[in-house]
Structure 1
Amino acid sequence: MNTHGVDPGAGWLFAYFREIHGGSVLEESLHYAISRDGLHFTALNDNRPVWNASIDSQPVALRDPFIARGLDGDYRLLATHAVPTRRLPDGHYERLDIGLAPHTAPVDFLHARSTDLLTWYDVRLIPILQDIPGAKNLWAPEFVVDPVAGDHLVIWSTSTGPKMWWDKAIWYARTRDFLTFTAPQVLFDPKLNIIDAHLLPYENRWHLFYKPDSKDDSKHIHIAHSACIDGPYHDLATGITPTITEGPHVVRRDDLDEWWLYYDHPWEKHYGLSRSRDLKQWTVTSGAQFPEDARHASIIQLSAEECTRLLRAFG
């Protein structure tokens, strides 16, 4: 993400949902935090939702919100379609309808569109895996613009094998308009049971950040790379974050000649940040500040006008 020539009033948006795993906090809806430096984020709206998704007046819970600009210049939000929950008398939550959740879950994802990050419309569930035999879930959808093909490459993790939790791979499909999609295919499967892929280009290569999640893995972020957006991908660096971490999102800080990698410590209930100049050696940054109970966020750069608009609406 290029920051050359940025207005001093500009900043960064941290879009997330809230959860304490196995605990009494669960807000599967869109939340915002803003930072001027990308290091210290302050929650907007008192750390309450800034948007609750609904379709035909029915609420839709979302996880893992990802926001980026599409080819048309509008913001697109993709998110995991969460299984419904109910709150128990002791204050904890349990999933409804699907007995093995989250091992199995809806095989669609949530889509919404916005021009100003305030009002979201064209809210739809996209059943992209409806024709894939054995598909059991669809987690953490994201997209990148492919400048060569002139479309969007949508990626996510899915299990289609008999082991459910233990056989996920990264899948992809292409779309120009988020209405029609190519047939889903496997993008990357190193046989490690992987989730939470994040993809971005740099210097004529594509870099895929992901989390191995096998029983015998230490569950921290790896990087694979390829000369082509649709692979094949090969590991560049492994174990680049502390364990247990997931939900990677990377921004390129050209103003500092650094990569900034944000990630979730879900079991330890906090967020982390590491920095690198070469994509291989990473240093954990101390002193970063993130919203309480934030989970699996995406980070985008804002203009000064966008910062002002969000602060006026939710500050």
Structure 2
Amino acid sequence: MFKAKFISTLRLAIIGLSLCVVTSCSKQGYLFTSFHEPATDGLRFLYSYDAYHWTDLNKTFLKPEVGTQKVLRDPSIAQGPDGTFHLVWTCSWKGDKGFGYASSKDLINWSEQKFLPVMESEPKTVNVWAPEIFYDDEKAEFVIIWASTIPFRFAKGIEDEENNHRMYSITTKDFINFSKPKLFLDPGFSVIDAVIVKRAVKDYVLVLKDNTRPNRNLKVAFGQDALGPYRDVSETFSPKLTEGPTVVKAKNDWLIYFDAYGQKIYSAYKTSDFKNFKDVTSEVSVPEGHKHGTIIKVKRKVIEGLKK
């Protein structure tokens, strides 16, 4: 009798422990920055404990106050070695020559928002879109990349001059002093929504959107430094009319989430080598209304703090 009860209790404990490992008992989880159209309400977050199933926290954490249009689109976040979170975002469709920036220790209490005029030296700049922030631990600095159009600067191809984007970059160690903006990527076509992925030392992948018609889909390129150069741009791996990729490591695979706006769904592909891709959209769940953001791994207590 005692033995049977012991075995039954042990089985329940094992089941409970297994569930704990894959759910909220995990010491770490994931946050997905988000916004809802028309992008005036501000920063939102989704959270997950397995990087596949996401829950909306259903509130906003930072209302945009900078930029001509004062919107918060394409929020991108990175955490520095001191624990501080750094956020950048698109603050206008057109007209601005920079993007928004703020920082926080807990994602609840934020610093004063700043407008970073990264393209002020280029007066003909049409737009500054989708800044993406990445912490380069090899150089102990932050890299920020974004897409801008400067009419008649590059071969036009089939795009209008005001839609012929290239990627630019700056670096900073303290968000007070910044490098001069530089051309980050000119793949020979209009490119936006690029995101840097580090696989190992001197092994980087760039996931990007080919914004030329009729393509407007996702590709990858490879480099040995966070700042590039990135070479060997691939053929597309996503359907047409896709954008806003973000990448997260989940066990032994990489998940690439993106907005499949042509299908009006949020999709995910899985890869182990960025050469072979599997559509796993049916295996993930993303709340309705979620738009372009980035995923970071955080301690569970950060998520619990946001839930309060």
Q: Kindly tell me: are residues 213 and 55 of structure 1, through their superposed partners in 2, closer, same or farther at Cα, counting changes over 3 Å?
A: closer
Structure 1 position 272 matched with structure 2 position 254: no
* Counterpart contact for 2:66–2:91, Cα < 8 Å: no
Which letter does structure 2 place at the counterpart of 1:181? Answer: F
> Residue 188 of structure 2: which of 163, 179, 191 is its match?
191
Partners of 1:208 and 1:166 in 2: CA distance = 21
> Residue 66 of structure 1: which of 65, 76, 83 is its match?
76
Give the structure-2-normalised TM-score.
0.83
Structure 1 position 259 matched with structure 2 position 263: no
Q: Kindly tell me: are residues 224 and 61 of structure 1, through their superposed partners in 2, closer, same or farther at Cα, counting changes over 3 Å?
A: same
> Residue 160 of structure 1: which of 132, 143, 150 is its match?
150
More helix per residue: 1 or 2?
Answer: 2
Deviation at 1:26, TM superposition (A): 5.0
Give the structure-1-normalised TM-score.
0.81
Match of 1:145 in 2: 135
Q: Kindly tell me: are residues 166 and 26 of structure 1, through their superposed partners in 2, closer, same or farther at Cα, counting changes over 3 Å?
A: closer
Partners of 1:8 and 1:30 in 2: CA distance = 25
Match of 1:94 in 2: none
State the SS of the aligned residue for 1:211. Answer: strand
* Counterpart contact for 1:168–1:193, Cα < 8 Å: yes
Match of 1:227 in 2: 224
More strand per residue: 1 or 2?
Answer: 1
* Counterpart contact for 1:13–1:32, Cα < 8 Å: yes
Q: Kindly tell me: are residues 72 and 128 of structure 1, through their superposed partners in 2, closer, same or farther at Cα, counting changes over 3 Å?
A: farther
Q: Which has the higher contact order (CA 8 A, sep 6+)?
A: 1
* Counterpart contact for 2:39–2:73, Cα < 8 Å: no
> Residue 277 of structure 2: which of 279, 282, 286 is its match?
282
Partners of 1:135 and 1:165 in 2: CA distance = 9
- Structure 2: tracts of 5 or more residues without a match: 1-20, 153-159
Give the percent of matched residue pairs that are identical in Structure 1 and Structure 2: 28
Partners of 2:65 and 2:163 in 1: CA distance = 31
State the SS of the aligned residue for 2:171. Answer: strand
Q: Kindly tell me: are residues 28 and 193 of structure 1, through their superposed partners in 2, closer, same or farther at Cα, counting changes over 3 Å?
A: farther
* Counterpart contact for 1:79–1:109, Cα < 8 Å: yes
State the SS of the aligned residue for 2:77. Answer: strand
State the SS of the aligned residue for 1:221. Answer: strand
Match of 2:8 in 1: none
Q: Kindly tell me: are residues 248 and 28 of structure 1, through their superposed partners in 2, closer, same or farther at Cα, counting changes over 3 Å?
A: farther
Match of 1:87 in 2: none
Deviations 1:50-96 (A, max 9, x none): 3212359x9931100011112443000000012xxxxxxxxxxxxxx
Structure 1 position 240 matched with structure 2 position 237: yes
> Residue 54 of structure 1: which of 58, 61, 65 is its match?
65
> Residue 14 of structure 1: which of 21, 32, 38 is its match?
32
State the SS of the aligned residue for 2:216. Answer: coil
Structure 1 position 34 matched with structure 2 position 47: yes
Match of 1:179 in 2: 176
Deviations 1:274-314 (A, max 9, x none): 111111111111132112121111111121211211112xx
Structure 1 position 294 matched with structure 2 position 304: no
Which structure has the greater CA radius of gyration? 2
Deviations 1:167-208 (A, max 9, x none): 111111111111221111111111210000100211221211
* Counterpart contact for 1:270–1:294, Cα < 8 Å: no
Partners of 1:232 and 1:59 in 2: CA distance = 33
Q: How many residues align?
A: 277
Provide the alpha-carbon RMSD of the alignment: 2.3
Structure 1 position 108 matched with structure 2 position 101: no
Partners of 2:52 and 2:300 in 1: CA distance = 17
Q: Kindly tell me: are residues 134 and 299 of structure 1, through their superposed partners in 2, closer, same or farther at Cα, counting changes over 3 Å?
A: same
- Structure 1: tracts of 5 or more residues without a match: 20-24, 83-101
User: Mean Cα displacement is larger for which, 163-172 or 276-285?
Assistant: 163-172
Match of 2:126 in 1: 136
Deviation at 1:43, TM superposition (A): 1.0
